[in-house]
Amino acid sequence: MGTARYSNLAKAAKLSVLYAFPGEGGHGTAGANPLGGIIRDAKGDIHGVTEFGGVENEYGVVFKLSVTGKEAVLHTFAGPPKDGAEPVSSLLLGSSGMFYGTTAFGGSGECRGGPDCGIVFAIDSAGHYSIIHNFQGGPDDGIEPWGNLVQDAQGNIYGTTMGGGPEAGLCGPPYAFGCGTIFKLSANSDGGWTESILYNFTGAADGSDPVTLAIDAQGNLYGAALFGGSHGCVGGCGTVFKMDTGGDFTVLHSFTGGNGGMGPDSVLPDAAGNLYGSAIGGSPSCQSACGIVYKLDASQKFTVLHSFNGKDGDAPGYLILNEGTGILYGTTNLGGTSNWGTIFQLKP
Using the predicted structure, report yes or no on whether residue 231 has a pLDDT greater than 70.
yes
In this structure, of 39-43, 88-92, 220-224, 230-234, the range with the lowest mean pLDDT score is 230-234
pTM of the model: 0.92
CA torsion angle for 301, 302, 306, 309 (degrees, to 10)? -160
CB 261 within 8 A of CB 236: no
CB 168 within 8 A of CB 176: no
Around Cβ 14, how many Cβ atoms within 10 Å? 6
Q: Under DSSP, is residue 193 helix (H, G, I), strand (E, B) or coil?
A: strand
pLDDT tens digits, residue range 144-162?
999 999 999 999 999 999 9
**Rounded CA gap, 118 and 108, in Å?**
8
Backbone angles phi, psi at 65, to 5 degrees: -115, 115
Reported as a pLDDT band with limits 50, 70 and 90, residue 278 is very high
Most confident of 7-11, 55-59, 107-111, 297-301: 297-301
Using the predicted structure, report yes or no on whether residue 206 has a pLDDT greater than 70.
yes
Q: What is the pLDDT of residue 39?
A: 92
Q: CB under 8 Å to 225, separation ≥6 — which residues?
A: 180, 201, 206, 207, 208, 209, 210, 211, 238, 239, 241, 264
In terms of pLDDT, which residue wins out, 80 or 166?
Answer: 80
Reported as a pLDDT band with limits 50, 70 and 90, residue 172 is very low
Reported as a pLDDT band with limits 50, 70 and 90, residue 281 is confident
pLDDT tens digits, residue range 307-340?
998 888 888 888 888 888 999 998 888 888 888 8
Average pLDDT, the chain: 88
**Rounded CA gap, 71 and 81, in Å?**
28
Q: What is the pLDDT of residue 343?
A: 85
**Rounded CA gap, 97 and 251, in Å?**
33
CB 224 within 8 A of CB 266: yes
Stretch 176-195: mean pLDDT? 91
**Rounded CA gap, 258 and 291, in Å?**
10
* Eight-state DSSP code of residue 245: T
Quickly list H helices, 18-161. none
Q: Which of 109, 117, 113, 121 is nearest to 47 (CA)?
A: 121
Q: What is the pLDDT of residue 165?
A: 87
Q: What is the DSSP string of 147-181?
A: S--EE-TTS-EEEEESEES---S-PPTT--S---E
